[in-house]
């Protein structure tokens, strides 16, 4: 969870809380003996995809990531998003800090981006993944962009779901299992 702290809005400390949450989860999995710290991936869809990209841009906790249908440049959602009610002009530092696009030069962990070509969610138009892909490629990142034809924000076609599963399997085999 990302929670509000005294004197601050929740998103004012979003990155710190996100990383602390991920570290705690990994630490517990290692303590329980169910994972190897060097072979952990992170994945998410929509806001989870956005969080995945942020974790990879701001930490070295994961071997790889898979981000689906996310919003990676928060300046493209300038009138708020999720629980952020302030506009870009009221809290520009929050929008920039929370945008993994701005940190494309620092995101060196392999990331698979998957997005529906017909995404009709106003915060997650396909251009979000296309631009992050270009920024990462331009900065030497390890990235793959998979665009699913005729799919909106949630994928429904059997062919798309199977393709998504295959891409995910291949990515995890290459960058996590056989790291």
As annotated, the active-site residues are 46, 119, 153
17: left (phi over 0), alpha (psi -120 to 50) or beta: alpha
Fill in the DSSP letter of residue 175: I
Distance from CA of residue 98 to its chain's centroid? 11
Give SS3 for 36.
coil
> 120: buried, middle or exposed (CB in 10 Å: 19+, 13-18, 0-12)?
exposed
Tell me the sheet residues that pair with 65.
42, 111
């Amino acid at each position: 969870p990302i929670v509000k702290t005294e004197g601050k809005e929740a998103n004012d400390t979003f990155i710190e809380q996100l990383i602390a949450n991920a570290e705690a989860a990994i630490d517990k999995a290692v303590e329980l003996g169910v994972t190897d710290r060097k072979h952990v991936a992170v994945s998410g869809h929509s806001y989870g995809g956005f969080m995945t990209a942020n974790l990879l841009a701001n930490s070295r906790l994961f071997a790889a990531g898979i981000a689906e249908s996310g919003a990676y440049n928060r300046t493209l959602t300038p009138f708020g998003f999720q629980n952020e009610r302030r506009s870009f002009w009221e809290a520009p530092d929050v929008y920039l800090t929370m945008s993994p696009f701005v940190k494309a030069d620092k995101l060196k962990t392999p990331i698979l981006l998957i997005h529906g070509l017909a995404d009709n969610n106003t915060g997650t138009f396909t251009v979000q993944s296309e631009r992050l892909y270009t920024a990462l490629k331009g900065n030497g990142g390890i990235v793959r962009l998979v665009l699913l034809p005729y799919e909106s924000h949630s994928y429904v076609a059997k062919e798309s779901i199977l393709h998504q599963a295959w891409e995910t399997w291949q990515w995890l085999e290459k960058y996590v299992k056989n790291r």
